A and B are shown apart, each in its own frame.
Chain A
Amino acid sequence: MADAGAPAGRLATNSGPGRLLIAVYILFAIAATSRAGLQIATRFDEAPVAYLLSALAALVYIVAALGLARAGHAGRRVALACCSVELAGVLGVGVLSLVDPGLFPDETVWSGFGNGYGYVPLVLPVLGLLWLWRTRHALR
């Protein structure tokens, strides 16, 4: 919140549509965290790669939500990194899970381009990046 005092008419990443984006990120952070936590705690041996990936996705969602909520220069940079990792992750894992289904024996948030979650994991980073672009002049 260091430089949250953006001038009127200029949108910070944590207001307006940004707050809705943060809300959805929080929902996905909860979903991915509880899923990964449960999978790792109860049956880690079955599919370690898939479960570690779930944990990574969970971490990215949490940090992205924090980055967007903090809004300053550092927050924007953190959010930009997270959205990029997310987009790369959902596309990469989506392609890999199609090419070699054996690689991810259990579902992750990002498998099949996020089809288990209504493709929201695919749309979310794109919206995040668009929002960061829209608000690029919010801070000087």
Chain B
Amino acid sequence: MTSAASTGSPVDGILSTATIVLSLVLALWSLVAAVRHRPPDRSQFVGLAVLECALLVLAVVALVGLGRGERPGEPGAFFGYLVTLVCLPPLAWVLARMEPTRWGSAIVCAVCLVTPVVVVRLQQTWAVVGG
């Protein structure tokens, strides 16, 4: 971890890959529900809760890394993405609860498609070289 600066990123590894995969699976699952005219069901809300837990663990790992003196390439953007990231599943949860129709499932799908993008941006803002 202390070797090359580019490989020591706390947000790059099995955990972030797991959040990306989980998010995409949930997006696909919600898309199927939306296409079948199904409102968001228990499985989607459980999925959002699991995703949120994984993202919170990722955030804690990143903060622990910071505590050990590791520094992101673009600190401002990194924290912006980190805060946004942990807010995404709750946002989907609240909006999906308000919309108990197929469109609620579509909302879960949309947010779960955005989440992996934010995870990747998070990794990029940590690993950025130079300005």
Contact = CB atoms under 8 A, between A and B. Distances in A.
Interface string B89-120: 00110010011010110110011001000000
Interface stretch (B9-17, B51-59, B76-84): B76-84
Contacts of B80: 34, 37-38
Tell me what chain B mostly uses at the interface: helix, strand, loop, or mixed. Answer: helix
Nearest to B131: A43
B25 to A, nearest CB: 20
Nearest to A16: B103
A14 to B, nearest CB: 9
B77 A20 contact: no
Interface stretch (A22-30, A73-81, A97-105): A22-30
Contacts of A1: none
Q: Interface majority SS on A: helix, strand, loop or mixed?
A: helix
B101 A30 contact: no
A19 interface: yes
A115 interface: no
Interface residues of A, number: 17
Interface string B36-73: 00000000000000000000000000000000000000
Contact of A30 (B76, B84, B95): B84
Contacts of A16: 99, 101, 103
Contact of B107 (A19, A30, A31, A37): A19
A34 B84 contact: yes
A92 interface: no
Contacts of B76: 38, 41-42
Nearest to A42: B76
Nearest to B81: A34
Contacts of B114: 27
Nearest to A17: B103
A42 B80 CA distance: 13
A42 B84 CA distance: 19
Contacts of B104: 19
A115 B60 CA distance: 32
B48 to A, nearest CB: 13
14 contacts: A15-B99, A16-B99, A19-B99, A19-B103, A20-B103, A20-B106, A20-B107, A23-B92, A23-B107, A26-B91, A26-B95, A27-B91, A34-B84, A42-B76
Interface of B: 76-77, 80, 84, 87, 91-92, 95, 98-99, 101, 103-104, 106-107, 110-111, 114
Q: Which 8 A-B pairs have the closest CB atoms?
A: A19-B99, A34-B80, A23-B107, A20-B106, A38-B76, A20-B103, A16-B103, A23-B95
